[in-house]
Structure 1
Amino acid sequence: MTMFDDRERAHEAQFAREEEMAFRITARRNRLLGQWAAVQMGLTPEETDSYAKAVVQADFEEAGDEDVVRKLFGDLTAAGVDTDDGTVRRALAEKAIEARRQLLQSE
């Protein structure tokens, strides 16, 4: 029975590691997205840092990426940046790849 308990604990530990990594990738992606959008809006470095944190926080509003896309698109449009939903979603995909790469390199 101990062997089965050990296997179960190993699977649970692996699942926890994968979930933590997914959370870290999403948080880093959102920070990178915030920085990207801040450049588009012409924000100062201080404003960029604050805005990137706000984008990370926006992801906690609902499950999935729609809350982040909605925030970015709304803020970019309000700032007079000529953009569309597709541009924001492409940036989201690109920053997800970049975030994963950065985290894997840092380990």
Structure 2
Amino acid sequence: MSDPFRDREKGFEAKYEHDEALRFRILTRRNKLLGLWVAAEIGKTGRDADVYAQALIDYALVHGAPDALASRVYADLTNAGVEITRHRLEVRMSKLLHEAEAKINEERVAGSPSF
């Protein structure tokens, strides 16, 4: 006979794991979109843009804190001569997060998981 409390605990653990995996996918997608946007702003295209986007994804994985990624992107933009405020960058990051979440949810409904 199963223990209903243990079953419930397992259910909560499974939901937490699922939610964290989904959160990771959304943030990774946002970081890719951010990288491609920044690459375009600083004049990178094609393979160079993809490499830059991947570098941002890797940077975010290593440094973790959202402020670290924003600081890196802000520095890259200003070093390239792009005039941007920190607020505008944060608004862009927020919009890209919502876009990434919508895309991931569309893919989940369609059944085609990808980053």
For Structure 1 versus Structure 2, the TM-score category normalised by the shorter chain is over 0.9
What residue in structure 2 maps to residue 73 of structure 1?
A: 74
What residue in structure 2 maps to residue 15 of structure 1?
A: 16
What residue in structure 2 maps to residue 56 of structure 1?
A: 57
What residue in structure 2 maps to residue 82 of structure 1?
A: 83
Identical-pair percentage? 30
Please, which runs of 5 or more residues in structure 1 have no aligned partner? Answer: none
Distance (Å, rounded) in 2 between the aligned partners of 1:88 and 1:58 = 17
What SS class does the counterpart of residue 61 from structure 2 fall into?
Answer: coil
C-alpha deviations, 1:39-79, integer Å up to 9, x for none? 11111211110000011111134342111101110111111
Number of residues of Structure 1 aligned to a counterpart in Structure 2: 107
What do you get for the CA RMSD once the two structures are aligned? 1.1
Please, which runs of 5 or more residues in structure 2 have no aligned partner? Answer: 109-115
TM-score between both structures, scaled by the size of structure 2: 0.88
1:61–1:67 Cα contact (<8 Å) kept: no
Deviation at 1:83, TM superposition (A): 1.1
What residue in structure 2 maps to residue 40 of structure 1?
A: 41
Distance (Å, rounded) in 2 between the aligned partners of 1:12 and 1:50 = 36
What residue in structure 2 maps to residue 103 of structure 1?
A: 104
TM-score between both structures, scaled by the size of structure 1: 0.94
1:26 and 2:27 matched: yes
